[in-house]
Amino acid sequence: MTMNSENNGNPVMPSQMVLPTVDMQYLYRFERTLAGLEKGLHNDDDPEEIAMQTIEVARDFYDADWCGLISGDLDAGIFYPYWWVNRAEGRMAQTKFDEFEFLKDYDTWTHALLHGENVVLNGLTQRKAGVTGSEFRHYQKMDVQSVIGIPLFYHKPCGFMIIKNPRLYTDQPTMLAILGYVVLNCWKEQQNLEALKLQMKQPCAELTSEKDVYIRLFGEPEIHTLKGQLSAQTLNSPKGWRLISYLVIHKRPVPIRTIAEALSNDSESEYAQNALRVVMSRMKPKLESILDPKNSLVVNAGYGYRINDFYHLITDLQEFERYIANAKAQPDIAPRIEEYKKAVKLYRGPVYREASHEHWLLATAEHYAIEYLFAVNQLLKDLAELKDYQSVQHFASKALEIEPGNAEAVYWLIAALMKIGSVQSAQAEYDRAKQMLPEPAFKELQEKLLVEQIYLK
> Mapping DSSP to helix (H, G, I), strand (E, B) and coil, where does residue 207 land?
coil
- CA dist., res. 329 & res. 336, Å (int): 8
Which region among 19-23, 217-221, 438-442 has the lowest average model confidence (pLDDT)? 19-23
CA-based nearest residue to 302, from 258, 256, 271: 256
Confidence at residue 281, expressed as pLDDT on a 0 to 100 scale:
87
Residues 167-194: tens digit of each pLDDT: 999 999 999 999 999 999 999 888 777 7
CA-based nearest residue to 165, from 142, 147, 150: 147
Residues 316-342: tens digit of each pLDDT: 999 999 999 999 999 999 999 999 999
Confidence at residue 20, expressed as pLDDT on a 0 to 100 scale:
55
- CA dist., res. 56 & res. 90, Å (int): 9
148's torsion region: left (phi>0), alpha (psi -120 to 50) or beta?
Answer: beta
Confidence at residue 1, expressed as pLDDT on a 0 to 100 scale:
38
Confidence at residue 220, expressed as pLDDT on a 0 to 100 scale:
94
Residues 400-438: tens digit of each pLDDT: 999 988 999 999 999 998 888 888 888 988 888 888 889
Q: Write the CB contacts of 172 (distance below 8 Å, at least 6 apart in sequence).
A: 26
Residue 73 has pLDDT above 70, yes or no: yes
Place 3 in a pLDDT band, splitting at 50, 70 and 90.
very low
- CA dist., res. 391 & res. 334, Å (int): 13
Confidence at residue 203, expressed as pLDDT on a 0 to 100 scale:
56
Residues 241-281: tens digit of each pLDDT: 999 999 999 989 999 889 998 998 765 678 888 888 888 88
456 Cα distance to chain centroid: 53
Confidence at residue 275, expressed as pLDDT on a 0 to 100 scale:
87
Mean pLDDT highest for which of 4-18, 72-86, 254-268, 324-338?
A: 324-338
CA-based nearest residue to 93, from 60, 67, 64, 58: 67
Which region among 33-37, 62-66, 269-273 has the lowest average model confidence (pLDDT)? 269-273
- CA dist., res. 206 & res. 313, Å (int): 11
Superfamily of domain 316-451: Tetratricopeptide repeat domain (1.25.40.10)
- CA dist., res. 48 & res. 125, Å (int): 34
Strands 2-3 and 11-12: antiparallel
φ and ψ at residue 12, rounded to 5 degrees: -100, 120
Superfamily of domain 22-195: GAF domain (3.30.450.40)
- CA dist., res. 90 & res. 405, Å (int): 60
Place 136 in a pLDDT band, splitting at 50, 70 and 90.
very high
Q: Helices 389-402 and 333-346, interaxial angle, to 10°? A: 30
Place 4 in a pLDDT band, splitting at 50, 70 and 90.
very low
Residue intervals in the chain for CATH 1.10.10.10: 212-314
Q: What is the DSSP letter of 19?
A: P
Percent of the chain at pLDDT above 70? 92
Topology annotation, domain 212-314: Arc Repressor Mutant, subunit A (1.10.10)
- C-beta separation of 81 from 96 below 8 A: no
Strands 254-255 and 298-300: unpaired
Residue intervals in the chain for CATH 3.30.450.40: 22-195
163 Cα distance to chain centroid: 29
Q: Helices 407-419 and 423-436, interaxial angle, to 10°? A: 170
